[in-house]
Structure 1
Amino acid sequence: MGKLKKIIISDWITENGKSHQNVPLFWQKFGPEIGTAPIVLVNHALTGNSNVAGENGWWNALIGKNKTIDTNDFTVIAFNIPGNGFNGEYENLIHNYKDFTAKDIAQIFWQGLIALKIENLFAIIGGSLGGGIAWEMAALHPTKIENLIPVATDWKATDWVIANVWIQDQILNNSDNPISDARIHAMLLYRTPQSLGLKFNREKPAGEIRFLIETWLLHHGEKLQNRFRLASYKLMNHLLKTVDISKNYQSFEAVANEIQANIHVIAVDSDLFFIPQENRETVSSLQQTKSNIFYHEIKSIHGHDAFLIEFEQLSKIIQPIFNTQKQPSYVTQN
């Protein structure tokens, strides 16, 4: 596991003009020292963190020595969204969680990279919320990324996403058991009826009052409640509905066409949260003017969570991108 380190962001001004001093940005590094290999930034999802590789890394099937994103060849950096609590500290900003946007987080991640003397990135990859922040980072600095890889996400929050974020916020602010209840609801967005049917088959153990599906949902609710703080959940959930790289631009195409990175949009065919049709339309639209945007699709019955389950398919999709590691594709500041 890469050692958890801290950068102090001394002057962070949000989109709405709020100023924050001395914000701690916690991060981890995996692989070679910064400046000696191409840099890959990995952005975590809603309940994720910077621990992306190693024994307990949540994406260790993809990232590590001799893995698809090979830490023999790439320096992997992962930041924690301030307020996610992985560091054991809960910044004051999470008490005003509706003041913040995904673009704010993208800006602070760029400030973190500058503090590490990293100017350009070989790739940014992120799933779900992390992928939305990746889009925002590319929009902010469209010439500094070689490969943008948003997975099971979108460049904007659709009405469907906004609606479900609102429901989650209602649960988080009104339930007597908010973290567990919100997580139970969220799990039904992350999976599919087919996935749950295959897994549980309407079974109820003899002598039990609950169906297996109910026990499974309760387990996930309790599991998150034991490791996540309410204020963190409120912030992370809220950020999902703020993703929109077209804000302050004439159109999505106008800002996306400025992005020089190879864009690899990866969707899940059964995703009920970030539906694949939105991603297909995005790619189809941009292919009218860009030759370096590509659409890939994970085939799975598991829905949104397939990006955390179908590692073999995801690995096959991104392997060609990371086979270019011998090219001189990184630059650091002097």
Structure 2
Amino acid sequence: MTLENKTNQIQIHNFTTESGVLYPTLHLSYQVFGPSLNTAPIVLVNHALTGNSNVIGAQGWWNDLIGEGKTIDTNKYSVLAFNVPGNGYDGFGIENYQDFNARDIARIFNQGIEALQISQLFAIIGGSVGGGIAWEMAALNPKITQHLIPIATDWKSTDWLIANCFLQEQILANSSKPIEDARIHAMLCYRTPESFSSKFQRTTNEELAVFNIESWLAHHGNKLQKRFQLSAYKMMNHLLKTIDITRGRDSFATVAATIEATIHIIGIDSDLFFTANENRGTYEELKKYKENVSYQEIVSIHGHDAFLIEYQQLHNLLATIF
């Protein structure tokens, strides 16, 4: 049985966030692609800031990596994807987004896995904030998955990342075109100067009398504004700055040493957001006390977004796992 493109619901009852706020009911929506759950190894895909559970198919954001005959083959694996509560995709918004942090979302996802009667996942894979939530899930339940695959992310939000999220918050709170303007700024973090130079080469759009880089950025802002809610952007941006598997716990070494999964860290050499240096540092620390850990790197001029662009490289890095 294939449940592709059907959105399902789990009710999470009496959930108290780390900040102490009680939510009597939370709606956790999800989609399944490939064989029905518990009939094949299960891969959980955690979406990034503007993503959702629609991983493949119409408007699928990871069609190049996941599907029949693809790297993560839906003939072999059940692919499960939750929507972060408040991402707007399922019609449920959360206005008080500061009630939540990345660990709260990980707790909700773990409860969802329990509700679906999944004893263990084959893999959790996620890019950017989705990968940060994956780290949090494994820290909460060290036995939850055989493979942990965080891509273009890390176990903590750095000062640099928090600073960019703070600027995003200011734009979202104060701009007359909050989604458009925040997206324009974000694209400067997601790409690199080399990526822009390669694509645009200082060319102009003569019809609009602007540089092509300007019209491209405006297009991305306008496109996101049409499909994304302001409350969802605020929520996801806030989660991005709250990743930290050590908050209220012991050191990274102590927390990470309990994770039983084989950890496959994938960085991007030109990432300006979650930098390769941070990823390498995480790997160097991990390998002191954990044998089943690896670090690999996507080589690209395109920066943070390379995990959504360099599909052949990503396939090559993931092929031995899947």
Fold match (TM-score > 0.5): yes
State the Cα deviation string for residues 246-281 of structure 1 (Å, max 9, x = none).
112221111000001000000000000000000001
Matching residue's letter, 1:60? N
Matches within 5 A, 1:24-173: 24-90=27-93, 94-173=94-173
The aligned length equals 319
- Quick one: which of 17, 22, 26 aligns to 2:20? 17
Aligned residue for 1:6? 9
Matches within 5 A, 1:166-185: 166-185=166-185
Distance 1:149 1:205 in 2: 41
Distance 1:289 1:229 in 2: 43
Distance 2:168 2:205 in 1: 30
Matching residue's letter, 2:273? F
Matching residue's letter, 1:282? T
Distance 2:113 2:5 in 1: 17
**SS of the counterpart of 2:285?**
helix
Distance 1:206 1:49 in 2: 36
1:207 CA displacement: 4.7
% identical aligned pairs: 60
Aligned residue for 2:272? 272
- Structure 2 residues not aligned, in runs of 5+: none
State the Cα deviation string for residues 81-129 of structure 1 (Å, max 9, x = none).
0011111232xxx211111100000000011111111121110000000
Distance 1:218 1:18 in 2: 38
Aligned residue for 1:219? 219
Aligned residue for 2:196? 196
TM-score (norm 2): 0.97
Distance 1:279 1:89 in 2: 34
Aligned Cα RMSD in Å?
A: 0.9
Distance 2:208 2:42 in 1: 51
1:193 CA displacement: 0.3
Distance 2:58 2:319 in 1: 21
**SS of the counterpart of 1:186?**
helix
Mean Cα displacement is larger for which, 9-18 or 270-279?
Answer: 9-18
**SS of the counterpart of 2:92?**
coil
Check the 8 A contact 2:85/2:92 in 1, yes or no: no
TM-score (norm 1): 0.94
Distance 2:79 2:299 in 1: 27
